[in-house]
Structure formats: structure tokens, C-alpha cells
């Protein structure tokens, strides 16, 4: 089974004229792969978190990117040896080689699923772990700082993205909560799904 470790708990604080924000970044370890999800945009925090795990960016085999927003993807470039699983019509980037991928490319215990709504092209992960099934939701589910973190399938998306679609987002959230025991949101704390 795979192991999931939250390296950085994502945060999103609203300012008058913008945000202070970076995504939740996780390290997934399987028998033969080390995977980073949504490395975010806080370089110092990410490098410190990797160091704590005894890793450098060059030890990472795959980087998973849930969607196109810079607060999730700005640091992709530091992983020089990795392949990138992307939302971009579900293509994998290996340098300039751009290939289709299978939903189990990251391992038999890790499934890549489509979760549109926050933006049209959005992916999440469902991971079998010894603790139960964990979903790395990306921004299908997220909170801003200061909000009470109570999950409601219809909760408003604070996105300012032009492609946001609430109906699709609700369907995507259903997929996640139906399958997962725990959810790691794009910004905010991991929570247990109440069944």
C-alpha cells in the first residue's frame, strides 16, 4: 500500500487586493516511487519539508498537478528528474515528451480521477493506505483562513476562476466523499468523511 504524508498544509488568506496562499503539498511513497502532489508556491517551506524527509528535489520520480492555478504549480521546475502528471487534457510531461497516461500510472493503489468544477480541467487522487482510503482533493474542496472547516457538499467555492462550475463541482465532491475515508483539501486541514 501507499503512504501519504502532508508536507505542507495548504493555506489561503484573503487580502484586500489578493491572497497569501499556497496549496497542500503531499509526499506519496510507494514501493518504487516517490511522488509529490501540488508543490505549491512557497519554495522555502517546500525545500525545508523535503529536507526533513531526508530528500532532495532530485529524489522525486513523479509530480502530480491537480489543476492550473499557480498557487499549486509554481514550483514544478525544481523537480528536474520527475515526470509530471497534469490536468492538461490528462497528459504526462517527461521533459518535452508529452504522453497519455493510465489512471494507475502512479501505482495499483493510487487512482487518478477527474474532478472538474473549480476549473474545467482538474484531477484528484484516491489512495489506498493502511489507514484507509485517502483522497487528495486539490481545490475540489478548500477553505480560506478564518473559515470554520465544516464540509458541506454544496459549499461555495471561493474561486475567482472564470471556468468555475458549481454543478460539476458538486458531482466531483460526491465522487470523492463516496470513496474516501479521509480527504486532504487543497487548502485547509485533512478531515475524516462522515459516512
Binding region for Zn ion (CB under 5 A)? 71, 139, 186
Is residue 109 within 8 A of residue 128, CB to CB? The reply is: yes
Q: How far is the CB of 151 from Zn ion (least distance, A)?
A: 17
For Zn ion, the closer of residues 105 and 151 by Cβ is 151
Q: How far is the CB of 139 from Zn ion (least distance, A)?
A: 4
Distance of CA 155 to CAs 11, 65, 162, 169, Å? 18, 23, 18, 10
DSSP string, 63-114: EE--SS-HHHHTTGGG-TT-EEE-SGGGEEEETTEEEE--TTTT-TTEEEEE
For Zn ion, the closer of residues 30 and 71 by Cβ is 71
For Zn ion, the closer of residues 2 and 119 by Cβ is 119
Q: What share of the chain is helix, strand, coil (3-state, %, to 5)?
A: 20, 35, 50
For Zn ion, the closer of residues 2 and 41 by Cβ is 41
Q: How far is the CB of 42 from Zn ion (least distance, A)?
A: 12
Is residue 138 within 8 A of residue 115, CB to CB? The reply is: yes
Specify the residue for cell string 510531461.
Answer: 93
Q: How far is the CB of 8 from Zn ion (least distance, A)?
A: 12
Is residue 80 within 8 A of residue 125, CB to CB? The reply is: no
For Zn ion, the closer of residues 116 and 186 by Cβ is 186
Q: How far is the CB of 102 from Zn ion (least distance, A)?
A: 26
For Zn ion, the closer of residues 2 and 75 by Cβ is 75
C-alpha cell recorded at residue 9: 498544509
Q: How far is the CB of 71 from Zn ion (least distance, A)?
A: 5
Amino acid at each position: 500500500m501507499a503512504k501519504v504524508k502532508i508536507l505542507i498544509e495548504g493555506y489561503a488568506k484573503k487580502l484586500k487586493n489578493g491572497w497569501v496562499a499556497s496549496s497542500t503539498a503531499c509526499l506519496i511513497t510507494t514501493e518504487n516511487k516517490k511522488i509529490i502532489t501540488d508543490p505549491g508556491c512557497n519554495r522555502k517551506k517546500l525545500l525545508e519539508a523535503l529536507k526533513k524527509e531526508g530528500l532532495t528535489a532530485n529524489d522525486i520520480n513523479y509530480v502530480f498537478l491537480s489543476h492550473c492555478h499557480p498557487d499549486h504549480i509554481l514550483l514544478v521546475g525544481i523537480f528536474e528528474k520527475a515526470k509530471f502528471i497534469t490536468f492538461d487534457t490528462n497528459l504526462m510531461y517527461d521533459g518535452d515528451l508529452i504522453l497519455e497516461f493510465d489512471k494507475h500510472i502512479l501505482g495499483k493503489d493510487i487512482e487518478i480521477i477527474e474532478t472538474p468544477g473549480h476549473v474545467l480541467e482538474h484531477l484528484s487522487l484516491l489512495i489506498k493506505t493502511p489507514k484507509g482510503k485517502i483522497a487528495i482533493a486539490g481545490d475540489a474542496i478548500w477553505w480560506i483562513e478564518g473559515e470554520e472547516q465544516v464540509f458541506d457538499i454544496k459549499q461555495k467555492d471561493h474561486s475567482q476562476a472564470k471556468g468555475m462550475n458549481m454543478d460539476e463541482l458538486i458531482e466531483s465532491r460526491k465522487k470523492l466523499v463516496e470513496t474516501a475515508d479521509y480527504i486532504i483539501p487543497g487548502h485547509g486541514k485533512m478531515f475524516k468523511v462522515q459516512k
